[in-house]
Amino acid sequence: MTAKKDLSNLERREFMKLGAALGAGALLHEAASGNNPDHAATAKEAPVAAAVEKVRVGFVGVGGMGTNHLRNLLHLEGVDIVAVCDIVEEKVTRAQDMVEAAGQPRPVAYTRGELDFMRLCAEEDLTLVYTATPWEWHAQICLAAMTSGKHAVTEVPLAVTLEDCWRLVETSEKYGKYCIMMENCCYGRTEMTVLNMVRQGVLGEIIHGECGYLHDIRDIFLQIAPGREWFQKHALTRNGSLYTTHGLGPVAQCMNINRGDQFDYLVSMSSPSLGLEDYARNKVPEDDPRRSLEFAAGDVNTTLIRTHAGRSIALVYNAHNPRPYTRINLVQGVKGLVEGYPDRVHIEGVSPVHEWEDMDQYWEQYEPTLWRELGRNLTGFGHGGMDYMEDYRLIKCLREGIAPDLDVYDGAAWSCIAPLSEKSVASRSASVEIPDFTRGAWRTRPSLPVPEL
């Protein structure tokens, strides 16, 4: 690795070369099928890490979500915030103040530009590096963490290209380090309750799911609302299902993806791109350059996924039009189904014929202990408390030496759907194979138990 004193002075293009080299052998993977003959025939899953009394954290990116996670970690026992990195010095100072106010020593600041996380990874004695940066940096920061001997933890998505998904999988295996994508929606009260119902057979064999990210964030894409300015370029340059993991993750868990079943192939189709341009004409002045932006992303993308066991998933993306928020959260079994927004359920032989029931009696019977015990005290912790739940489980697993709920195979499988959907859209909705990042291990890996207290 480059000497410590030189890390902060790397030119961006040189760092990108280094980031590619950090992947196992700098493999260039074929996007056509997602599988390359150079891949190992079978996965070498990282062993379960030994328990640690203190989880020493270096944080990269302390904007909105980063600060949210930092606040959660400061409320958990056994966590030391050792270092904080951000390109905005004021944000690092704010984070340092938060850590000191919580009774911990002031963490080391890393503010020498967008590559300073390399210096953090090389110099600090850490258990893990936690990143909440713009999407395009997630893979590079995780690679730097793992090759420096730290676990890697990132906000969604794990990566934005298929090639980086493979690099992260192979680097995690090579160095024996966790690479965890923090998908908070897997820890929502409804999602965890539905997973518990599935595990107990309430819905019968699961055959179909519907999910998505449908959220009016036009102000963010047009940079009318402050924050996440980097988000705009994805809609300007990419056409597919751009935000896959929030909806897909919980449904994939119910279907035992990577643990008994596996994504097989997808087809994807996008509507015209009209909503953001129309919104700009009505929201910004006539001489504003945003009125002339041309967005590549279709307003609505529908991606259909088939699994090896024959299950189907309909994944919908729409963040460009006026609409109430939903992730759909539909899980269909042969005995019944659950659907979100609003939460409702129908079980054959239990529910009135052809009628929905609300979730009240099902909360009483199937709400996991984690939510039953902790969920009532999470007001103000972000996204209804599920952000706290995911951070709680991360730290618990590391301190107790048990495998985390989510692993690199989950992050890669759920994240790769975005670039593969782009490929399908660009090929007149042609079928695109979804790679098996486990290289066959999904057939024998045990299903994920419902995360508990």
Residue 88 reports pLDDT greater than 50: yes
For residue 19, pLDDT beyond 70: no
Q: Which of 5-9, 131-135, 285-289, 425-429 comes out lowest in average pLDDT?
A: 5-9
> Is the model's pLDDT at 90 over the cut of 60?
yes
In 3D space, the residue among 242, 299, 243 whose CA is nearest the CA of residue 273 turns out to be 299
Backbone φ and ψ for 164, nearest 5 degrees, come out as: -70, -30
> Any idea which of 25-39, 353-367, 435-449 has the lowest mean pLDDT?
25-39
Token duo for residue 24: 């196992």
Name the pLDDT band for 384 (thresholds 50, 70, 90).
confident
Per DSSP, the three-state class of 424 is helix
pLDDT bin (cut points 50, 70, 90) of residue 36 is low
Mean pLDDT score, 134-143: 98
Q: Band of the pLDDT at 29, cuts 50, 70, 90?
A: very low
Least confident span in 33-47, 207-221, 255-269: 33-47
Give the SS3 label for residue 276: helix
d(CA 45, CA 176): 8
What mean pLDDT is predicted for residues 384-401? Answer: 96
The pLDDT value given to residue 346: 98
**What Å distances lie between residue 77 and 34, 73, 243, CA to CA?**
41, 8, 32
Closest residue by Cα to residue 184 from 409, 376, 414: 414
Half-sphere exposure of 399 (CA within 13 A, CB side): 16
Q: Residue 373 burial by CB count (10 A; 0-12/13-18/19+): exposed, middle or buried?
A: exposed
Residue 95 CA to residue 162 CA, distance in Å, equals 33
* Rounded Cα distance, 184 and 108, in Å: 28
DSSP single-letter state for residue 200:
T
Residue 115 pLDDT greater than 60, yes or no:
yes
The residue-averaged pLDDT of 64-88 equals: 97
Q: What band does 380 get if pLDDT is binned at 50, 70 and 90?
A: confident
Ordered structural domains, the chain, with CATH = 48-181 (3.40.50.720), 186-369+407-443 (3.30.360.10)
User: What's the Cα-to-Cα distance from 116 to each of 126, 136, 141, rounded to whole Å?
Assistant: 16, 16, 10
**Mean pLDDT calculated for residue range 67-93:** 98
Tokens of 5: 């004193």
Mean pLDDT score, 253-277: 98
Calculate mean pLDDT across residues 55-77. 97
Mean pLDDT of 295-316: 99
pLDDT reported for residue 47 = 81
Mean pLDDT of 46-62: 95
Q: What is the mean pLDDT of residues 198-216?
A: 98
- For residue 10, the model assigns a pLDDT of 38
Q: What value, to the nearest 5°, has the Cα angle with vertex 250 and ends 401 and 325? A: 130
What was the pLDDT predicted at 227?
A: 84
Distance CA 394, CA 67 (A): 17
The tally of CA atoms less than 13 A away on the side-chain side of residue 317 is 27
Which residues have a Cβ under 8 Å from the Cβ of 62 and sit 6 or more positions away? 70, 84, 86, 91, 92, 94, 95, 132
Percent of the chain past pLDDT 70, that is, above it, reads 91
Rounded average pLDDT over 162-169:
98
Average pLDDT over all residues of the chain: 92
Q: Is the pTM of this model over 0.75?
A: yes
Q: Does residue 330 register a pLDDT over 80?
A: yes
Alpha-carbon gap, residue 416 to 157, rounded angstroms: 9
